[in-house]
Structure 1
């Protein structure tokens, strides 16, 4: 049974970190929620240089408070942000001028992120990003690859890895084929409209690219109500939300979790551990449930 156990990403640890804390739409509560998430046990944070939906400066404020309080050091956390094109920005609030050349847009955006997320209030010199994502492909493949090449100049000193969000398989393949610094992260909606990105996720597995999901709960009401998820929830004595999270993680997906409830932060993290504990105690039942779930999303 030990060889079978290794095939479960949830049980083997290949699904770590359990969650990335998503900071979109948190507005003025962003700093407090980032601190709450880290205190609860989150060790990865997602944000973006997109004031329309994110308060990246308040993410940095929350992180610096955590460091100041001695809870963690910068190296204990994974922090990723994004460059967002003008099409995704609020024209009245953006980190660069929309008419700037692409290279200038990216340089100004990255500089603003490094400043916002600096670990020390008065010193940007030691600031770095674990990953920076293109928030979406640019209008053409050529522009997307050009943007990628510009970002490569920051690796590995100021940016450790690169990724892309809201991407299709052909675009991801084109980036991978043309990149010196290969993609490390893809962040997409995991939901039925894209058939759960099956071919794209297979490509990610083949090329050691971490696939991150958002809209995991809101985009999947049918999965959440499914008998398979309910059976796991009842068996492990967790909520259906946690059961779905666990089954998605077992696919090798890193889940974004943007809860604003400190109770849910604690429950989600402890709930994943509860599912692992139950699964280890009843491996046969766990493998039956996960097999049924895989047939639902990977027919």
Structure 2
């Protein structure tokens, strides 16, 4: 299950999220890769991520032959000063914005190096963790990002963005965003207009807070109905898999999955594979009913 976009970057439908894993990060990344994940999301933000341990987990999996670098989608972020712990940052407050970006990217290359030759290290996607205080500064950061594309960094994205800022980057920057990583929950009306903008332009919307941010949704008819069908197929954790499947069904979407349990990692991956086969075969009509109900629930059919 992968998506392609105009940059030819291949992004798995489920990407393993490494935020808040602390000292367990390396082992959890290794477990995720062993379970079958092929996408990893991290950030050069020691406040919430341990990017160096993410690299340790990836290197362990590669060294054991579980995966090779070419099979992986590795995504990291540049986090502006406002999102950093002032006592633990990958750059200095005395540096200019351009210098901070270069320093942060250098630290990410070092942390995520998978070859004995540093020159062979590349990142599949670099994400601007949040817009800068002004559109001008945001575009300046994007220009610096762009200087690494397409060799050391294959594609660019932005997280926690508004529609207006995304539109300005897409319309005014020569290198277009390939990824938008935003929360998927009621407080942003599930980003219906922004996701439509992405879908129409081949931008992949990466949904986070998909499960955590939607506890009430788990009791709605589309989720319950789909979970009932998937349970009959033997899908474990069918409610969670149903939510992920329906979000993915919205089109040009991937989901960040940060579970810390190996059994859940496997259940999510295997469950989505079963759901996909069922939806494309004997369950097609029932799947369409559930998906249409889900779209109505989040207002997808109202624009």
Equivalent position of 2:148 in the other structure? 154
Task: State the distance in 1 between where 2:83 and 2:12 align.
Answer: 28
Q: CA deviation at 1:17?
A: 2.0
Displacement of 1:63 in angstroms is 0.8
Q: Which moved more, 1:103-112 or 1:281-290?
A: 281-290
**Deviation for aligned residue 1:289:** 1.1
2:7 aligned partner: none
Contact 2:11 2:39 in 1 (8 A): no
Matched, 1:245 2:240: no
**Counterpart contact for 1:214–1:255, Cα < 8 Å:** yes
Deviations 1:1-33 (A, max 9, x none): xxxxxxxxx8x9789723000000011111111
Q: Deviations over 1:100-138 (max 9, x none)?
A: 100000000000001100003x43211100000000000
Alignment partner, residue 79 of structure 1? 74
Q: 1:222 offset after TM fit, Å? A: 1.8
Is the CA contact 1:79–1:129 (under 8 Å) kept in the aligned structure 2?
A: yes
1:143 matched to 2:137: yes
Residues 91 and 103, structure 2, Cα contact 8 Å, conserved in 1:
yes
Q: Aligned with 1:139: secondary structure?
A: coil
Q: Matched residues in 2 for 1:219 and 1:226: separation?
A: 14
**Aligned-residue offset at 1:275:** 1.4
Q: For each residue in 1:228-252, what CA deviation from the matched residue of structure 2 results, as whole angstroms up to 9, or x when unmatched?
A: 1011001111421111110001012
Report the secondary structure of 2:154's partner residue. Answer: coil
Contact kept, 8 Å, 1:45 with 1:78, in 2: the verdict is: yes
SS in 1 for 2:188: helix
Q: CA RMSD in A?
A: 1.6
Instruction: Write the mapping of 1:112-131 to structure 2, written as runs, cut at 5 A.
Output: 112-120=107-115, 122-131=116-125
Q: 8 Å contact 1:18–1:272 — kept in the other structure?
A: no
Q: Which secondary structure state, in structure 2, belongs to the residue aligned with residue 81 of structure 1?
A: strand
The separation in 2 between residues aligned to 1:68 and 1:284, in whole angstroms, is 45
Alignment of 1:223 onto 2:217: yes
1:26 and 2:21 are equivalent in the alignment: yes
Q: CA deviation at 1:178?
A: 1.6
Select the structure with the greater relative contact order (CA < 8 A; seq sep ≥ 6): 1
Where does residue 293 of structure 1 map in the other structure? Answer: 294
Q: 1:232·1:289 contact (CA, 8 Å) conserved in 2?
A: yes
Equivalent residue, structure 1, for 2:256: 256
Q: What is the alpha-carbon distance in structure 2 between the residues aligned to residue 13 and residue 85 of structure 1?
A: 28
Q: Please tell me whether the aligned partners of residues 35 and 66 of structure 1 are also in contact (alpha carbons under 8 angstroms).
A: yes
TM (norm. structure 1) is 0.93
Quick one: which of 75, 87, 90 aligns to 1:92? 87
> Would you say how many aligned residue pairs link Structure 1 and Structure 2?
288
Does the CA-based 8 Å contact 1:102-1:147 persist in structure 2?
Answer: yes
Contact 2:42 2:54 in 1 (8 A): yes
Question: Which whole-Å deviations, capped at 9, do the CAs of 1:132-155 have from their partners, x for residues lacking one?
Answer: 000000000000000000110000
Residue in structure 2 matched with residue 175 of structure 1 by the alignment: 169
Deviation at 1:273, TM superposition (A): 1.6
Q: Which runs of 5+ in 1 are unaligned?
A: 1-9
